[in-house]
Amino acid sequence: MDSKKFEILLTAVELGSFNKASEVVGYTQSGLTHLMDSLEKEVGFPLLERSHTGIKLTEKGQQLVPAIREFLLSNNNLEKKIKEVAQNKNEVVRIAAYASMAMHWIPEILYRFKRICPNVNVDLRMVDHALEPFELLESGQADLIFASKQDFNFCNWIPLYDEPLYAILPKNYPLKQADAFDLTEFSNKEFLMPYGRFDIEIKKAFEPMGVKTNIKSVLVDDETVIRMVGKGLGLSMMSELMIRGRTDDVLCVPVKPACIRELGMATHIKQKDSDNMKKLKDCVLKYISELPTKKAN
């Protein structure tokens, strides 16, 4: 049965007339009368006594009042629960991240996030192309990205980490300095360009120094490039996270002058962060604050 009809029944009885009740419940008096007639047909007996002085419950109607109130309370609780369940439905956060960041940062970040937001599902997409996270964000296929800073104006960019770049050299390379590799030494050398538009970062480093190399573009992953350098097939340059845990067979030396790429996270400028997204960002910032290398400014 329709709970609304019973609510209106009790309101009408409390006010003592259809005329007064119609003003409260938003029905015309004739509409209200029709509604109560319909309810009486549903229950199978009269619920109201009508007179020129107003309305009141019949004896049978009075017997139903406790059950009606219990029904309305239960119905209200059900509606509240339905609303709560609907509002707390599992949110999905879609993340796109560079492979290096996905490997070294994201597992710990998600572990922490899951402890405070266990009902939020995270869809993690690992990418190897420098611009792909931004393309996914702009097209609405990602909610949060982890990448190096690029020149796009649709991002709410949050800088996280200044990631240093290293020269990747064969073990037997004759270093002039043990703790630094001058960028000009790349000149006229065979240079193995990491895949995925890492040339954007290389260009930023080389152009101010006028460095010209014999670039070999290789469509392989970072680990394979490092192995190729280890076999004397050329030199390369990569960032800290790209080489972490893969340096046994090569020399990794900070370049001079020092070069960094700014790593950060971003959401779309038109996207309003949900409460869960805010909590995820807080987890990221807390994690980054614990890293030994300073946070990007």
pLDDT tens-digit profile of 103-162? 999 999 999 999 999 989 999 999 988 999 999 999 888 999 999 999 999 999 999 999
Class of domain 92-161+262-289: alpha beta
25-40 pLDDT, tens digit per residue, is 888 888 888 989 999 9
Residues of the chain with confidence (pLDDT) below 70: 80, 84-85, 87-89, 293-297
Strand partners, 7: none
> 275-283: which pairs have CB atoms within 8 A and are 24 or more residues apart?
276/91, 276/93, 276/117, 276/120, 277/93, 277/143, 277/144, 279/113, 279/116, 279/117, 280/93, 280/109, 280/113, 280/117, 280/120, 280/144, 281/144, 281/158, 283/109, 283/112, 283/113, 283/116
Query: Which two structure tokens, joined as six digits, stand for 13?
Result: 């009885």
**pLDDT of the residue at 297:** 45
Q: What is the pTM of this model?
A: 0.69
Query: Which two structure tokens, joined as six digits, stand for 129?
Result: 């192309």
Evaluate whether the domain defined by 3-87 bears CATH number 1.10.10.10.
Answer: yes
Instruction: Please tell me the distance from the alpha carbon of residue 204 to that of residue 210, in angstroms, as a whole number.
Output: 11
Instruction: Confirm whether 3-87 and 163-260 share one CATH topology.
Output: no
Evaluate whether the domain defined by 163-260 bears CATH number 3.40.190.10.
Answer: yes
Query: Which two structure tokens, joined as six digits, stand for 47?
Result: 């619920």
Pairing of strands 236-239, 155-170: antiparallel
**pLDDT of the residue at 87:** 66
Q: Is the CB of residue 169 less than 8 Å from the CB of residue 151?
A: no
**pLDDT of the residue at 78:** 83
The residues spanned by each domain of the chain are: 3-87, 92-161+262-289, 163-260
